[in-house]
Amino acid sequence: METDVHSLTTCQMGLSSLGSSAVMNVDDEVEKLLNGEGLEVNKEFDSAPAQVQAVALRKTVTYIVCAVIFNEKNEVLMVQEAKENCYKKWYLPAGRMEEGESIVEAMRREVKEEAGYDCQPITLVLVQEQGPEWIRFVFLAEITGGSLKTPAEADSESLQAEWWDQESPLTLRGQDILRLISAALKYREKPWHPVANPIDIGCHVIVQRLLLTFSSPDGTLWLLLGNTKELHLPLAVSSKTHTVTWAANRLVQETMPSTYSGLDVNTVGILGLQHSGREPGRTDGLCMNTLVTLEHTWQGPHTSLPPPVENPRFQWNTVENHRLREQIQQRLTTGSLLPVHSLC
Ligand SMILES: CC(C)=CCC/C(C)=C/CC/C(C)=C/COP(=O)(O)OP(=O)(O)O
Ligand SMILES: [Mg+2]
């Protein structure tokens, strides 16, 4: 027990109170992420599967983009599919990202091809993932030009587009889009998280940068930091066999193995999503900057403190900078973050 207390006392030196450049670096990283900015992805990861290979679009990863666009009557833009397996069924403008595209370019291309309109993103409203093989990016977007695709313009991309009042009967290609429409409508009615559009920073793998927090009952806020070279927010690479957000669990498992089974790791949402697809095979990855909470699943004598770190490459630090602490706590209590749904 003494070891625990000692290690925690050592760690109670706060970010700012240390005053070193290493700590300033973390404050700086946190500040940028809270502002929705990105950070370059260092190639040295803090947690990764045994083999880390660059992901390749359409080979090891499929990104799907999807747009929810409303008109002034709150009708939603729908497209009638031309593909054999869903012929004449209706869906949101959506499709697979192509090599060399950014996420926004892919979304705009799909809307143009399938619905006839030019558009621009308002914000991402939802990211869904089924592990690193399938990730779907859902935008709330608005029209900037073009015209509704008519049946006379039918081609292999779609048969036509229409505005749907969401009540008239319509044969849908999949019920999955109802959740996407609701997410976009909720944001349109009340923008409940800051605008979150992709940040143009390339990465070769699918990785999470973690703002991994522990909150003590007295209001102390702790961050788990990597300490190799300089203190930094940990980077956890996803593995093929799990959901993308499971990488946070692996990092906790590796860092606090004795207590892991009594801990709850919860990815609350995304602060920013980094991607640049310009160099196929080299920048097909992405980095999700996520806000994650760690909690004890039961309450006991020592559960007001973060679980002891058993791996020398990591440490807990308290957030001493008041402004940063309040901002993180506010984002945690209001849940004002881009949601990420892990579907398997
Ligand atoms: C993470 C997650 C929810 C993944 C599953 C998404 C999903 C329902 C995939 C199946 C359908 C699919 C491949 C849509 C792509 O759009 P499309 O078939 O319209 O592609 P295209 O326009 O490029 O032909
Ligand atoms: Mg499509």
Ligand 2 centre to CA of 156 (Å) is 10
Ligand 2 centre to CA of 93 (Å) is 6
Ligand 2 is an ion; its neighbours by CB within 5 Å are 94-95
pLDDT value of position 23: 67
Region 324-342: mean pLDDT is: 97
Higher pLDDT, 251 or 23: 251
**Does the domain formed by 5-55+204-342 have CATH 1.20.120?**
no
Nearest CA to ligand 1 atom 4: 134
Provide the pLDDT confidence category of residue 22 given band limits of 50, 70 and 90.
low
Ligand 1 centre to CA of 273 (Å) is 20
Please check the confidence at residue 6 and state whether its pLDDT lies above 50.
no
Region 11-34: mean pLDDT is: 70
Residues having CB closer than 6 A to ligand 1 are 64, 94-96, 128-130, 134-136, 174, 176, 343
- Strands 62-69 vs 134-146: parallel, antiparallel or unpaired: parallel
Please check the confidence at residue 18 and state whether its pLDDT lies above 70.
no
Ligand 2 centre to CA of 83 (Å) is 9
Express each pLDDT in 182-193 by its tens digit: 999 999 999 999
What share of the chain in percent tops pLDDT 70? Answer: 93
Express each pLDDT in 259-279 by its tens digit: 999 999 999 999 999 999 999
Q: What average pLDDT does the chain have?
A: 93
pLDDT value of position 88: 98
Nearest CA to ligand 1 atom 23: 95
Ligand 1 centre to CA of 206 (Å) is 19
**Does the domain formed by 62-189 have CATH 3.90.79.10?**
yes
* Domain 62-189 in the same topology as domain 5-55+204-342: yes
The residue to mutate among 81, 83, 96, 99, having the most atoms of ligand 1 within 8 angstroms of its beta carbon, is: 96
Ligand 2 centre to CA of 94 (Å) is 4
Nearest CA to ligand 1 atom 6: 136
Region 324-334: mean pLDDT is: 97
pLDDT value of position 20: 60
State the pTM of this model. Answer: 0.94
Express each pLDDT in 88-103 by its tens digit: 999 999 999 999 999 9
pLDDT value of position 19: 46
Higher pLDDT, 16 or 72: 72
- The closest ligand to the CA of 173 turns out to be 1
Shortest-distance atom of ligand 1 to CA 81? 19
Express each pLDDT in 133-189 by its tens digit: 999 999 999 999 999 999 999 999 999 999 999 999 999 999 999 999 999 999 999
35-58 burial code (b ≥16 CB/10 A, e <16): ebebbebeeebbbbbeeeeebebe
Please check the confidence at residue 124 and state whether its pLDDT lies above 60.
yes
Provide the residue ranges of all domains of the chain, joining segments of one domain with +: 5-55+204-342, 62-189
